[in-house]
Amino acid sequence: MDKDKYRDKRDHRRFDTSEESWASVDNSGRTSIKNISLSGICLVISRPLDKDSIHEIDIFPGSAAKITLHSSVAWSSFLGVSGINSELSYYETGFRFIDMDEHTKNRLEKFIASLDKMTLQTVP
């Protein structure tokens, strides 16, 4: 799948996160965040998910309290396998946030603003 063709369709700029931030899909354990915006998130997960399926994502933004969001799968791509016997599969999966209340939106905006400040600080 050519994910670059979707970049122009996105409503919000995406930001990379620090290694301190992580997420969990449906309470299934820790997963890495590739990037995040006000409208969605890209995660690397260990199982394929059906397009348009609904999931609960908990975001753990470093030292701040977790942010819980409902989401719908926009796309999922097989990345590869790892492990001694190639027993672990990895999928890059894009989610759209849905049904976000104002309180959650404000917390997400604050988290993303902190990522934007980190980005500005690392630019020479």
Question: What is the percentage of the chain residues whose pLDDT exceeds 70?
Answer: 82
Query: Has residue 83 got a pLDDT over 50?
Result: yes
Of residues 89 and 66, more confidence is placed in 66
Question: Strand pairing of 32-36 and 40-45?
Answer: antiparallel
What are the residue ranges spanned by the domains of the chain? 3-111
Residue range 9-44, pLDDT digits in tens: 667 788 888 888 999 999 999 999 999 999 999 999
Query: Has residue 77 got a pLDDT over 70?
Result: yes
Position 121 scores a pLDDT of 41
Residue 40: which of 7, 80, 63, 4 has the closest Cα?
A: 7
| CATH class for the region spanning 3-111 | mainly beta
Position 17 scores a pLDDT of 87
Q: How does DSSP assign 23-89, residue by residue?
A: EEETT---BEEEEE-SSEEEEEESS---TT-EEEEEEEETTSPPEEEEEEEEEEEEEEEESTTS-EE
